[in-house]
A and B are shown apart, each in its own frame.
Chain A
Amino acid sequence: MSATLRAKPGGKPGGKPATRTAAALRARGFLRLWPRSVRAKLALWCAVVFAVVTLLFGLVFFLNVRATLTASLDNDLTTRTALIAVGITQHDGGITINDVTGTLPGLPPGPQDVDDSGEETTPIAVGTPHGDQESEHADHRADVTVGTLVRILDAHGQLLYVSPAFQRLSVPQQSVSASLTGSTWRGTVTSASGQSVRLYSMPLTTKSGAIYGAIQVGAPLAPLDGTLRTVALEWLLIAPFALLLSALGGYYLAGRAFRPITRVASTAQRIEAEDLHQRVPVPRTRDEVQHLALTFNEMIARLEDAFARQRRFVADASHELGTPVAAIRSISEVALTPGTGPEEHEASLRAINAEAERLGRLVGDLLALARADEKGIALEREPVRLDLLAADVVAVLEPLASERGIQVELRAAEPVTVLGDEARLIQAVLNLLDNAIVYTNPRPGGELAGRVTVRVQARGDRALLAVSDTGVGIAPEDLPRIFERFYRVDPSRSRATGGSGLGLAIVDWVVRAHEGRVRVESELGKGSTFTISLPLASSL
């Protein structure tokens, strides 16, 4: 490696962030107003949605009402105009206006009965509007809301009749010209005092269709406006209350919905590592909250199990460590009593050495398992020849086997390569073979009593290493538990041979760490076979 490594920078790294802008501070202040509880947020959203809906609805309603009222007004206007037009006739002498509706000021009301020929009792030839009679009442009639708004013109646009109130309107010429050319005109005009008036202008035609004049009738819009204003006002008065009601309603409903969640939270707060038997209340409703509560309870149950296992492990480990320590103490105490000779001292030292070795093995195994529990354990990943490894392990344990009268056979015909941590794989295979030898009936005296077979082969994309023995076997009820830490089928036996009870637990973790599995098949009195299955290096 020839990379150059940089020196450590002097002093503390970094400094305070740049000064905050006023805008950023204001933005943060605003965000603090935003409610934090889901409940309040829900209520707020509820209110906002309601407000928007209300606004839209109100707007639509208002526009609709206005359109309807306006249409109604226009219809009335048209009808009234037609009615008034009935009393207007053209004859050779000119145009006669009869006030058939009785609404035209300055004209006497029309006769109650009119014959078809259209003869009236008192025709009035008009040319100019009546002046003096109206001027007395000019003031109050000037208010367009009080008086009728009617204007009648001849074919040349000359005024035939105009009601006093109409005189105060500013009417576009277009309305006249349109009517005199045969079309109706409708529009909104304003009076001198600024009031709005709806105007309808219609041509006067003879029975044959000839246009001899125009009639214009107006209707004040003030009443309509008044109605609309009332409607709008009522809306505006009611809306805030409705809004408030919806917000409160939303808040209340949200509260009811969240009550079970709050209960879950408060129970969860009370749960401590020491007190994992508690469970949160599960509501009867088959909804998300129930699901949450059930899942939560399952989690607590798993944690309870894990903690229980942990406590058991610590208790077992302490017990196991205590035994050899106690042995060392008692042996040394005996050796220190006055009167013991050098031979006894030597014997005691040998015994202490053996116990210390046992203790060391135990501590080492415990350390291995502690590593297993750590997430960050870094295992080597190099190619390992499983067949050669098995051969070496068999050779190393050969003295132990022959001492116990066991024959060990290796069947590994082909090279089998896996990727992994060589040292730990050796440890796992050592443990399995050691177990097999120890648990196969020894017959002191060297008579070949039992047989252990180690088979290494590749099958598919897996590497298989199997250790079979003709030993005492394992009872079915013990089978699922043998990989547990400190689990011993026969405590007296394994302690005597110096086992720690952790051997299989270590095999299990090593194999799992290599993405493999270890299986066991056993028959009481016949023997057992442990099989490690690992992914082949070639398949990875």
Chain B
Amino acid sequence: MRILIAEDDAALGSTLRKGLERDHYAVDLVADGEDALIGALAVPYDLIILDVMLPRRDGFAVCQELRRQSRDMPILFLTARRDVDSRIRGLDLGGDDYLTKPFAFGELEARVRALLRRDAGPRSAQLTFMDISLDPITHQATRGDRRIDLRGKEYALLELFMRHPRQVLTRSMITDHVWNEDSENFSNVIEVYIRYLRRKLCEAGEPNVIQTLRGIGYALREPGP
């Protein structure tokens, strides 16, 4: 899942980025509102963490413009201001959630998970598809009773599929959501990762759930007849 952080405090921004990357999210960091807007319009982020006080364009203005241009990804505001009025304003402008500084990183993580849940169907924290389940908190994947050991990008890839079950994901979509802007063209590499994932998911002989749609992409689907 790909997250944009817009935070002008360099130390805080970098800390948040590292923390979220450790949770296997692909993270991009910008330091002002203008860059945030341009980035969010160009890349299909799954979530945006927006500091309210940003140079060049403040967080509220960015949120308002994104909603006006039909970008519906969840937006989480960060602010040092504690007054209720600004919180009301933020939420009414289209924001989905609010965190006041100082905050505990664990709370940010939990709110991120909650916001990412909203797009998926089931309301529980765990992601499930057939006998595969993924726990976004512990980053643990299981199939049946079998524990699956997944590293960084493999996990991120599976999470992306599990959050978009039965949807066709093109290679460019996968690149957009599993890697951040620092990464080059990995469309060939994705093929190899899909193979990895298939192998791990089907180690005990279970049926394959990742379908290849030639020339288009991949989809997480129940195996056909």
Contacts and interface: CB of A to CB of B under 8 A. Distances in A.
Contacts of B191: 396
Given A378-B182, A392-B196, A423 B189 contact: yes
A360 B189 CA distance: 14
Contact of B192 (A4, A382, A389): A389
Contacts of B151: 382, 422
B184 to A, nearest CB: 4
Contact of B188 (A3, A378, A430): A430
Interface string B87-114: 0000000000000011111100100000
B80 to A, nearest CB: 4
Nearest to A427: B189
Contacts of A3: 104-105
Contacts of A2: 104-106
Given A365-B184, A367-B184, A371-B182, A5 B189 contact: no
B187 interface: yes
Secondary structure of the B side of the interface?
helix
A422 B152 CA distance: 10
A393 B191 CA distance: 9
A392 B192 contact: yes
A396 B101 contact: no
A187 interface: no
A1 B153 contact: no
**Among A1, A361, A363, A388, which residue has the most Cβ atoms of chain B within 10 A?**
A1
A178 interface: no
Contacts of B53: 8
A430 B192 contact: yes
Nearest to A361: B185
A7 B153 CA distance: 32
Contacts of A476: none
A1 B109 CA distance: 9
B153 A427 contact: no
A396 B152 contact: no
A93 interface: no
Contacts of B182: 371, 377-378
Given A382-B152, A392-B195, A5 B101 contact: yes
Interface string B181-211: 0111111110111011001000000000000
B15 interface: yes
**Among B106, B185, B196, which residue has the most Cβ atoms of chain A within 10 A?**
B185
A239 interface: no
Given A361-B185, A382-B151, A382-B152, A5 B103 contact: yes
A8 B103 contact: no
Contacts of B106: 1-2
A514 to B, nearest CB: 16
A1 B185 contact: no
B146 to A, nearest CB: 19
Interface string B4-39: 000001001001100100100000000000000000
**Among B15, B153, B192, B193, which residue has the most Cβ atoms of chain A within 10 A?**
B192
B98 to A, nearest CB: 14
Interface of B: 9, 12, 15-16, 19, 22, 53, 80, 101-106, 109, 151-153, 172, 179, 182-189, 191-193, 195-196, 199
21 contacts: A1-B106, A1-B109, A4-B105, A5-B16, A5-B105, A6-B102, A7-B101, A8-B53, A8-B80, A8-B101, A360-B172, A364-B185, A368-B184, A377-B182, A389-B192, A393-B192, A395-B195, A396-B192, A422-B151, A423-B153, A423-B186
What are the 6 A-B residue pairs with the smallest beta carbon separation, nearest first? A364-B185, A368-B184, A7-B101, A1-B105, A7-B80, A367-B184
